Structure 1
Amino acid sequence: MQFHEVDAPQAETLSDQAPPLVLDLDGTLLRTDSLIEQALAYIRYNPLGILTLIAWVFSGRVALKERLAAAVDLDPRTLPLNEDVVAYAEQESAKGRKVVLATAAHQQTAHLFKDQFPFISEILATSSSGNLKGKAKGETLAKRFPQGFDYAGDSPADVAVWKHAQNAITVGASSSTVRKAKKVSNVVKEFPRPKVLKAFIKCLRPHQWAKNILVAVPAVLSGRITDPSTILPLVMTFFALSLTASATYVFNDIWDLQDDRQHWTKKRRPFASGTLSLPVGVAGAFVCFAAGLTLALLAGPEVLQWVLIYVVVTLTYSLWLKRKVILDALALGSLFTLRLVAGMVAVAAVPSPWLFVFSMFIFTSLAFAKRHTEIARVIDKGGFWINGRGYRASDLPLVLAAGVASSIAAVLVMTLYIIEDAHKQIFIKNGDWLWFLPPLVFLIASRIWIFCQRGELDDDPVFFAVKDRVCMAYAGLTAVCFGLAWFGVPL
């Protein structure tokens, strides 16, 4: 069986030199898998192509790699590198040691990394004659370097290669794989495994769970929060939304992988940085999704219905709406409003159109603030459009106007609520205190937009407000005024 070689000499003489250093590509030089990257890119730009991809899978591993390599122009510069392994290889190459890339990736894909890694003098890769993986790779390397070689790899399949190697180097391998490597070869160097659990938890974005406290708002505004029977349904609804939302975050990060790697902060996300493998993340997401739906069902069939609607809207946003100007902000606003709806059905509260309309306007305003920040940063870097979004640099004034207008509309809706409905609620003992709420909401929204316009806002305006002492002071005064109205304290 023959495999593709690039710039390979006809004979190998090592004499007294150190044995060649042979490196795997996926999971070793890269913190990702090039085949999975190609498959994701293919589906992203052609969603219906998943049917074609399935047909390729049944055609065999080699055929799949060959067709994906031909269909997808993979940019090696955007893929996350294992900097420690790259530095080690560069150091060994500087000493005069031969460095070889031996990968199960297709030869067309492997050749793309020739310029990316100039220290590589030879490339062995999968070709039409066979898949260069496991046993086949080990036998090929043993034949190519009969006087010995050192091999750096990461997966259980590499154990078959280490059997033929003079020395073994493990890269981010599991403890069981390291043990197997030590049984068949001399392990001279170990590159540590990334902290998978920590990376997965980060991928779930548990800090975003704070937004799901909104499920308690309908219970508060309906006066049902004091009923002990509402506590358990609210808690289950909170965690149902949190877990299902985290699962959708995983899917969103996978779908946006290429765009995130070009973003100034999102490039540090676990998938984008390569600290979490895609298969592990997907498996964990399914567990979270199943747990979230189970909790939603326990909270009640109606809660499950609205949680599923939330998931559908989120996935629609990730797949399509986030690239549509204006619609993306409305979609984000609706996701916040759906949290309120889920909380409402969990405690069987009376629906409040005022609350839902207010929520749509205020959270749509915050969504526009996020887009304004992204556009402004693109302009600062000399760009003209946002990767993965439909906005251009010239849209900045429109986004500013729409965002500020939405916040003013939210204040107006709250004012109309106080005039038309608040005094009729039996749990409000002294509605006069509620008149402090519109100006306080106006102050919070205005402060967010001032910092946004100054370019001092973080990516997420909600967490800016939570961290900002002035905004939290205004929010505290809002809660105090509502409490005084609830208990009927004279003004």
Structure 2
Amino acid sequence: MAEALLHQQRTHRPPAPRPPSHRPGTLVGGLLRTTRPKQWVKNILVVAAPAAAGRLFSLHAVTRLALVFALFTACAAAVYLINDARDAEADRAHPTKRHRPIAAGQVPVPVAYGVAGALAVLAPTAAAWLTTPAVAVLLTAYLGMQLAYCVSLKHVLVVDLVVVTTGFLMRAMAGGLALGIPLSRWFLITTGFGALFMVAAKRYSEAVQMAGTAGATRVLLTEYTTGYLRFVWQLAAGVAVLGYCLWALEGGGVPHTSVLPWRELSVVAFILAVLRYAVFADRGTAGEPEEVVLGDRALALIGLAWLAVYALAVADR
């Protein structure tokens, strides 16, 4: 009986896995997936400064901002390609990341490096030619910072939080630089600490969900404590709210052309949005900011209400 079972196992071996396909269509699709299309929503931050200044309603502004959005997307894509190419071996041992196109063999590592290098050169060059030198310098600094993050900075405590936060802040600055809009200190403070709030909340959620196995996915999560990460996102949320309130109340003495002080009233919606987002951060479910913002109906409605009041505040100037 045992010999029969052994013979059956030998003669019914599972088929060998098929080698990865490198058809052109599959390769292009793999490259596109590696650039993280879901993350492109972050680059909408380029409209933040022009929106605050009321400079969105012209063909020149819309065209210039669309170009800056595309250039920032190209730079971020280059970083994602290099990051996944460097981490391909480690990703193959991960239950989820092994399905990434480079780790799965759908995109060869040399191709990933080649496309990333082309994007990293073309994006700042196009920015210098089609926008302003300041935007080209900002994109070059972003690429340098993110590449340093991929190589070493993502393993340095606190610095990793600062680098990711600065990436968000650079996106918000790019739109203002492209249109020559002065960036106020309150805008930079609110945007910077708002970004730190979401970044720290994401790290906190990862630490909570991957407790005991964090080292296998993000090494620094074994060195951060959940208490420290909670402190960081709470501190950042408080500073962001304070910065926004100071900005809104700064013009309190300016006469309004409408009945209601829309600028001051926008504080209510902003604080409600922060408090709503903090619910997910506290639960440890704020892993992907774009999924939280787009996936929660209440938060989306609060965001729309804030946009409406903010637009009235800009129009009331």
Q: TM-score, normalised by structure 2?
A: 0.85
Which of 392, 396, 400 is matched with 2:230 structurally? 400
In the TM superposition, what are the counterparts of 1:385-464 in structure 2 within 5 Å? 385=215, 387-392=217-222, 395-421=225-251, 432-457=261-286, 459-464=287-292
1:196-236 Cα deviation digits (max 9, x unpaired): 22111000112222211111111111222223322322222
Give, in angstroms, the shift of residue 96 of structure 1: 8.5
Q: 1:279 to 1:243 in 2, by over 3 A?
A: same
Once residues 284 and 296 of structure 1 are traced to their aligned partners in structure 2, the CA distance between those partners, rounded to angstroms, is 18
State how 1:122-161 maps to structure 2 within 5 Å. none
Larger displacement relative to structure 2 (312-321 or 302-311): 312-321
Residue pair 1:209, 1:242 contacting (<8 A) in 2 also: yes
Q: Which amino acid aligns with 1:461?
A: P
Residue 374 of structure 1 is matched in structure 2 by: 206
Q: Is 1:467 aligned with 2:295?
A: yes
370, 380, 383: which one aligns with 2:213:
383
TM-superposed deviation, 1:250: 0.7
Following superposition, the deviation at residue 477 of structure 1 comes to 0.4
Change beyond 3 A, Cα 1:303–1:335: same
Contact 2:54–2:315 (CA<8 Å) still a contact in 1?
no
Displacement after TM superposition at 1:364 (Å): 0.5
- AA at the equivalent of 2:105: G
Structure 1 vs Structure 2 CA RMSD: 3.2
> CA 1:171/1:351 → structure 2, altered by over 3 Å: closer, same or farther?
closer
Hey, what's the Cα distance between the residues in 2 that align with 1:226 and 1:284? 35
Deviation at 1:358, TM superposition (A): 0.7
| Stretch deviating more after TM superposition (331-340 or 285-294) | 285-294
Are 2:50 and 1:219 aligned? yes
1:364 aligned residue: 196
Residue 430 and residue 389 in structure 1: after superposition, are their counterparts in 2 closer, same or farther (change >3 A)? Answer: farther
* Counterpart secondary structure, 1:195: helix
Instruction: Determine helix, strand or coil for the equivalent of 2:225.
Output: helix
1:230 aligns with 2:61: yes
Out of 407-416 and 204-213, give the one that drifted further: 204-213
Q: Highest relative contact order (Cα 8 Å, sep 6+), 1 or 2?
A: 2
Aligned counterparts of 1:208 and 1:431: Cα–Cα separation in 2 = 37
**1:483 — aligned with what?**
311
Change (3 A) 1:415 1:233: same
**Displacement of 1:467:** 2.1
Which entry has the higher C-alpha Rg, 1 or 2? 1
1:195 aligns with 2:26: yes
Q: Does 1:95 align with 2:95?
A: no
Residues 412-457 of structure 1 show CA distances to partners (whole Å, capped at 9, x for unaligned) of: 110011122576699x967712233333233323333322332433
Give the structure with the larger helix fraction.
2
The TM-score, its normalising length taken from structure 1, stands at: 0.57
Q: Distance in 2 between matches of 1:373 and 1:239?
A: 30
1:252-311: per-residue Cα shift (whole Å, max 9, x none)? 112233444455543332123333221222222233334422331211222111111111
Matched residue type, 1:364: L
Q: Which structure 2 residues correspond to residues 26-425 of structure 1 after superposition, within 5 A? A: 94-95=10-11, 171-172=19-20, 195-263=26-94, 265-297=96-128, 298-379=130-211, 382-383=212-213, 385=215, 387-392=217-222, 395-421=225-251
- State the distance in 1 between where 2:109 and 2:255 align: 51
How many angstroms does 1:346 deviate by?
Answer: 0.4
| 1:263–1:310 distance in 2 versus 1, CA, 3 Å | same
- Deviations along 1:38-70, whole A, 9 cap, x unmatched? xxxxxxxxxxxxxxxxxxxxxxxxxxxxxxxxx
Give the SS at the match of 2:221.
coil
**How high is the sequence identity, in percent, across the aligned residues?**
23
Matched-pair contact (CA < 8 Å) for 2:252–2:264? no
Q: Distance in 2 between matches of 1:242 and 1:324?
A: 26
Report the alpha carbon displacement of residue 386 of structure 1 after superposing the two structures with TM. 5.7
Q: Is the 8 A contact 1:429 1:485 kept in 2?
A: no
Partner secondary structure for residue 219 of structure 2: coil
Bigger proportion of residues as strand: 1
Q: How far apart, in 1, do the equivalents of 2:182 and 2:92 lie?
A: 45
Structure 2 CA distance for aligned equivalents of residues 239 and 201 of structure 1:
14
Q: Go from structure 1 to structure 2 and tell me whether the alpha carbon gap of 1:414 and 1:171 turns closer, same or farther (over 3 Å shift).
A: closer
Distance in 1 (alpha carbons) for counterparts of 2:19 and 2:216: 35
Q: 1:265 to 1:465 in 2, by over 3 A?
A: farther
3-state SS, counterpart of residue 419 of structure 1: helix
Indicate how the Cα distance of structure 1 residues 174 and 455 shifts in structure 2: closer, same or farther if over 3 A, else same: closer
Distance 1:275 1:340, change over 3 A: same
C-alpha distance in 1 between matches for 2:103 and 2:247: 45
In structure 1, stretches of 5+ residues that fail to align are 1-91, 98-116, 121-151, 153-169, 176-192
Please give the alpha-carbon distance, in whole angstroms, between the structure 1 residues aligned to 2:197 and 2:144. 22
Residues 471, 314 of structure 1: alpha-carbon distance in 2 compared, 3 angstrom cutoff: same
Distance in 2 between residues matched to 1:335 and 1:482, nearest whole Å? 24
**Which residue identity is paired with 1:203?**
T
